[in-house]
Amino acid sequence: MVVYNSPKRTRNVKAKWNKVYNKQSNRKRVLVMRIPDDPIVSTALSIKKHITKQLTYLDIGCGDGFYAVQLTKKGFNSTGMDISEVAIRRARRFAKKNNVYVNFIVGNALRKTIKGQFDLVASNFVLQLVKESYKRKFIENMMSHTAPGGYNVIIFHTQHRPRINSKTGQGEDISGFQKKLADFYVKKGWSVKKHKIGFSGKNYVGYSVHWEYIVAQNR
């Protein structure tokens, strides 16, 4: 059952996700869903190509830490935030196992938990859990934590069902088709680099996953 997020429903959401993570054995990881292209990793690598300073990464709803650990290994100074303390415990263990340090924090993405701005702020399969009326707030929070010139990557389950290319598993590019999310970024003065939709077969609990993602830059 989906327990939708709002700034006030922290307790229910926490309980739901703690239960999910508690069910997993400690050795068996992870709950992460990765989509073709892996836009979080590919955006990180493309930023690294152009910038030589120490880069920073913020993962909203980081779960058991997959992306925060991967990006730390690629040279980013990373912070991971999740509402579930069980997820954060698992994430800390995962970072230790990989010999990296990540600043993992328990917090609600709809509240102001985190300070500072980051070069890359990403969220993998969290937005669909947020109550419709708070989606804008979720995205605005991500934007407010993004440094000038930095990027947002948001990946989420989508309601849209475009034609899928059977070879690539990807749908048509949705610029000009489903523009609401992209328009939101553009209106705020950001530039939208990619906005795609696709289908990845079944996820770890057997659901079919229609995904959508956006990559946008804070110009």
Interface with ligand SAM (CB under 6 A): 5, 13, 17, 31-32, 61-63, 66, 82-84, 87, 108-110, 124-126, 129
Q: Which residue is nearest to ligand SAM (CB)?
A: 63
Q: Strand runs (DSSP E) across 110-145, as ranges?
A: 118-124
Task: Kindly tell me which of 34 and 172 has the beta carbon lying closer to ligand SAM.
Answer: 34
Q: How far is the CB of 34 from ligand SAM (least distance, A)?
A: 8
Least separation in angstroms between CB 122 and ligand SAM: 9
Nearer to ligand SAM, 53 or 115 (CB): 115
Looking at beta carbons only, is 82 or 212 nearer to ligand SAM? 82
The separation between CA 82 and the C-alpha centre of its own chain, rounded to angstroms, equals 11
Report which residue type is found at 24: Q
Nearer to ligand SAM, 153 or 174 (CB): 153
Alpha-carbon span 37 to 170, nearest angstrom: 10
205, 187 contact by CB (below 8 A): no
Q: Which is nearer to ligand SAM, 108 or 218 (CB)?
A: 108
Question: Which two structure tokens, joined as six digits, stand for 191?
Answer: 């530039």
Residue 212 CB, nearest approach to ligand SAM (Å):
14
Say how many C-beta atoms besides its own lie within 10 A of residue 74's C-beta: 14
Structure-token pair, residue 127: 């937005």
Nearest distance in Å: CB 106, ligand SAM: 9
Buried b (16+ CB within 10 A) or exposed e, 7-30: eebeeebbebbbeebeebeeeebb
User: Closest distance between ligand SAM and the C-beta of residue 138, in Å?
Assistant: 8
